[in-house]
């Protein structure tokens, strides 16, 4: 099979997903409405392993990693963090249940620019990074390499069965109040400034989106047609 093209106007690009965590993860993918599907919506990735995804050059969507997954007594596949609740390893069009660290992409495929970011707007479960591949100039990697769970406010913490913090909720998810969700009368950058909770996310991961209006230093671009490496626990 021929390798995907990596120049402007390519029909597809390659996402290489790598797991550097000291535990198994189960990556999931979600394609935005109206966009062509990606080659897989969920898979298993052992420590040190990589997996290549074929991605349409005009794709838009997100990737994340589920943790502490198993098959329950009824035969359903379930995960302790970022579960997509499909009941199987493939997410089949379902997104991650927050909290989840997200890698988000909008690929243009027309000789313009791709947009990508790391988002903690839905909270954090594990470290993640995105690195453009292919040698295009002016392309920067972005990451949330810190373990936010280690400094998670107790009000936001999600604990596993062993009592350890396995994910950190966003303030929006935890409190469901408009001033944290940037909704209602707070639906603008001027009226929804960073909170003490989102500042903690930003301090740990300066390149990542820490809340809805954290735009200035969180979105990255690269000439369209290139490939990307997504790493968990970079």
Question: From first to last of its 234 residues, what are the pLDDT tens digits of the chain?
Answer: 333 333 444 689 999 999 999 999 999 999 999 999 999 999 999 999 999 999 999 999 999 999 999 999 999 999 999 999 999 999 999 999 999 999 999 998 877 899 999 999 999 999 999 999 976 677 999 999 999 999 999 999 999 999 999 999 999 999 999 999 999 999 999 999 999 999 999 999 999 999 999 877 799 999 998 999 999 999
Distance, CA of 234 to CA of 212 (rounded, Å): 24
Describe the strand order of the beta sheet including 50-56 as a list of residue ranges: 50-56, 12-19, 227-232, 128-133, 142-144
Q: Is the CB of residue 121 less than 8 Å from the CB of residue 212?
A: yes
Model pLDDT, residue 138: 77
Q: Is the dihedral of CA 175, 177, 179, 180 positive or negative?
A: positive
CA 74 to each of CA 71, 78, 79, 138, 160: distance values in angstroms, whole numbers, following the listed order = 8, 10, 14, 50, 21
Q: Is the CB of residue 81 less than 8 Å from the CB of residue 72?
A: no
Distance, CA of 227 to CA of 16 (rounded, Å): 8
Model pLDDT, residue 222: 93
Bridge-based pairing of strands 113-119 and 77-81 is unpaired
**Domains of the chain, start order:** 12-232 (2.60.110.10)
Distance, CA of 168 to CA of 147 (rounded, Å): 10
Model pLDDT, residue 2: 37
**Sequential DSSP letters for 194-209:** PPHHHHHHHHH-TTSB
Model pLDDT, residue 216: 73
Model pLDDT, residue 135: 62
Model pLDDT, residue 35: 94
């Amino acid at each position: 099979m021929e390798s995907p093209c990596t120049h402007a106007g390519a029909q597809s690009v390659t996402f290489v997903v790598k797991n550097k965590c000291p535990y198994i993860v189960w990556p999931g993918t979600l394609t935005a409405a109206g966009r062509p599907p990606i080659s897989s919506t969920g898979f298993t990735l052992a420590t040190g392993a990589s997996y290549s995804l074929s991605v349409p050059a005009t794709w838009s969507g997100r990737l994340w990693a589920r943790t502490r997954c198993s098959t329950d007594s009824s035969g359903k596949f379930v995960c302790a963090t970022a579960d997509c609740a499909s009941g199987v390893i493939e997410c089949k069009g379902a997104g991650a249940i927050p909290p989840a660290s997200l890698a988000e992409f909008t690929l243009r495929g027309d000789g313009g620019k791709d947009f990508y970011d790391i988002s903690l707007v839905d909270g954090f479960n594990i470290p993640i990074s995105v690195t453009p591949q292919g040698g295009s100039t002016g392309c920067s990697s972005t990451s949330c390499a810190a373990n936010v769970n280690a400094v998670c406010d107790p009000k936001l913490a999600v604990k596993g069965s062993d009592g350890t913090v396995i994910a950190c909720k966003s303030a929006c998810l935890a409190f469901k109040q408009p001033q944290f969700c940037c909704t209602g009368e707070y639906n603008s950058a001027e009226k929804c400034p960073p909170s003490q909770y989102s500042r903690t996310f930003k301090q740990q991961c300066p390149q990542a989106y820490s809340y809805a209006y954290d735009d200035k230093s969180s979105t990255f671009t690269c000439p369209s047609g290139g490939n990307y490496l997504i790493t968990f626990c970079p």
